[in-house]
Structure 1
Amino acid sequence: MGLAACSSKPAVPDWQMNAHASSQKAVEAYLSGNNRVQALEWELARAEVARTGRLDLLARLELLRCAAHVASLDVQPCSEFERLRTDAAPAEQAYADYLAGRVQPAQIALLPEAQRKVAAAGDAASVTSVADPLSQLVAAGVLLKTGRITPPAIAQAVETASAQGWRRPLMAWLGVQAQRADAAGDASAAAALRRRIAVVEQSVPAR
C-alpha cells in the first residue's frame, strides 16, 4: 500500500502550488524593485491559473498585482482585472472598487478582513491595526488616494516598507513625506528625506 493511500486529504494540485509560489515571488520582486523577476513570475503564475480555465481565479490573481501597485502608490488603473470583471466574484469586484477608492458601504463586508476596518472607519488611525505589512501599505495607499491619509499614517507606511526592505513603496512613501515637507516650508526635513531616497535609489535589487 502506498503512502498516499494512508492520507484522507486530497493532494493539492500542482497548478495551485505553482501559481501561489510564483505570485508570492512576483509580489516580493515587484516591491523590491526587481522588474525582470516580477514580470517573469507573474507570467508563470498566470500560465498556471490559466490551466484551470477559470476566469474568476485569473481575476483574483490580477487583484493581487493591483494591490501591490496601490501599496507602492502606482496609480495606474487595474485594467487587466477590469477585462475580467464580468467573470469575477462579488468579493473580487468589491476589492477592486476598494483599491480604486470607490468601494460602497454595502461592499465592505465582502472585503478581505484586513481591509474591512479601514474601509468602515474611513480614517488613517485604523491603518495601524492592520498587522500584515502588505495589507497595511494597501490600506494606506487607498487612504492617500481618497484624501484621508495623515502624517502619522504616512510615517507608519514608510517604516513598514523600510522594515521589509521594499524599496519601491519605500521610495514612493518617502517621496510623499518630502513633498509635504516642501509644502510646509521645512527645508531641513525635505533634504533629509531626499538623502534617504537617494540611498534607496542606489541599492541594487537582489537577482
Structure 2
Amino acid sequence: MRVLALLALAALLAACGSKPRQPDWLVNADGAQDRFERAYLAGRDKVAAVEFQRFRDELASTAQPALVARAELTRCAVWVASLDFAPCAGFEPLREDAGAAERAYADFLAGKLAPQDAKALPEDYRGIAGGGGAGQLEKIKNPLSRVIAAGVLLRTGKADPKVLELATDTASEQGWRRAVMAWLGAQAMLADKSGDREAAARLRRRMEIAAQER
C-alpha cells in the first residue's frame, strides 16, 4: 500500500489541471516507505527502524489518523510477508479513526476479514480474501503484495505447497533475505512432515546460504 499510491497521484494531478508540486511530506514518506520495506525484508534491522520512524513521522505531520494507520499497517504487512504473525499492535490505537480500507486491510493481515468487507481491500488481495489459493496468488504482479498474500494464506491454513513455492521464489528473486529464510523454513517443515528428507535437507542448505554474512 504505497501511501495511497501517492494519494492517487495527488488527486490525479489536481483533476488534470496545472501540475501541482507534490507536498514534501508525501514525497519523503513514499521514499522512506520503500527504503523501510526493502531493509526489513532483507534483514537490515537498524536501517529498517530508522526508515520506518521517518516514514511514520512524515505521515504524522498531517495529523491524519488514517495515514498514520497506513504506516503501521505497512510494518505489519512486511511482518506477515516474513511469516511473523505478531499482533498489529501499532494499528489498534488508530483503528477507531481509520477508514474502512485501513480496518479491512488490518483484518485481512490478521486472517480474520469478514467476507463482506473484501471489497474494501486493494484489488490485489480481493481474490485471496475470497478464498483463492495459488491460482489467485500467481495473478498478483507486485512481488511484495504476492508474498504478503501468501503469508495471509499460510496464517489462515489455506497455503498448499504451491503457495509456499511461489512465495519462496518471489522472495528469492527480490533478494529479500529475511523473507527467503522464513519461506524456506516453512517449506522445510512441510517436507519434514511429508517424510521427504532429501527435499528438507536441500531447503535447509539454501537457508544456510542465505544466512551467510555479507
Distance, in Å, in 1 between the alignment partners of 2:213 and 2:126 is: 35
Cα shift at 1:203 = 3.8
Partner amino acid for 1:133? P
* Counterpart for residue 169 of structure 1: 179
Gaps spanning 5+ residues in structure 1: where?
1-6
Partner amino acid for 1:45? F
* Counterpart for residue 3 of structure 1: none
Instruction: Tell me, yes or no, if structure 1 residue 129 matches structure 2 residue 128.
Output: no
Gaps spanning 5+ residues in structure 2: where?
1-16
TM-score by length of 1: 0.93
Distance, in Å, in 2 between the alignment partners of 1:122 and 1:128 is: 10
Distance, in Å, in 2 between the alignment partners of 1:123 and 1:198 is: 29
* Counterpart for residue 48 of structure 2: 38
* Counterpart for residue 51 of structure 1: 61
Instruction: Trace 1:105-116 onto structure 2 (pairs within 5 A).
Output: 105-116=115-126
- SS at 1:80's partner residue? coil
Instruction: Tell me, yes or no, if structure 1 residue 73 matches structure 2 residue 83.
Output: yes
Partner amino acid for 2:74? L
Distance, in Å, in 1 between the alignment partners of 2:196 and 2:93 is: 44
Instruction: Trace 1:187-206 onto structure 2 (pairs within 5 A).
Output: 187-204=197-214
Instruction: Tell me, yes or no, if structure 1 residue 88 matches structure 2 residue 104.
Output: no
Distance, in Å, in 2 between the alignment partners of 1:72 and 1:158 is: 10
Distance, in Å, in 1 between the alignment partners of 2:61 and 2:162 is: 44
Tell me which stretches of 4 or more aligned residues in structure 1 moved more than 3 Å.
none
Cα shift at 1:121 = 3.2
Distance, in Å, in 2 between the alignment partners of 1:105 and 1:148 is: 15
CA contact (8 A) 1:124 1:148 kept: no
Instruction: Tell me, yes or no, if structure 1 residue 146 matches structure 2 residue 156.
Output: yes
TM-score by length of 2: 0.90
Cα shift at 1:182 = 0.9
Alpha-carbon RMSD across the aligned residues, in angstroms, is: 1.1
Partner amino acid for 1:18? N
Q: Which has the higher contact order (CA 8 A, sep 6+)?
A: 1
Partner amino acid for 2:131? A
Partner amino acid for 2:104? A
Number of aligned pairs?
A: 198
* Counterpart for residue 159 of structure 1: 169
Q: Percent identity?
A: 49
- SS at 1:139's partner residue? helix
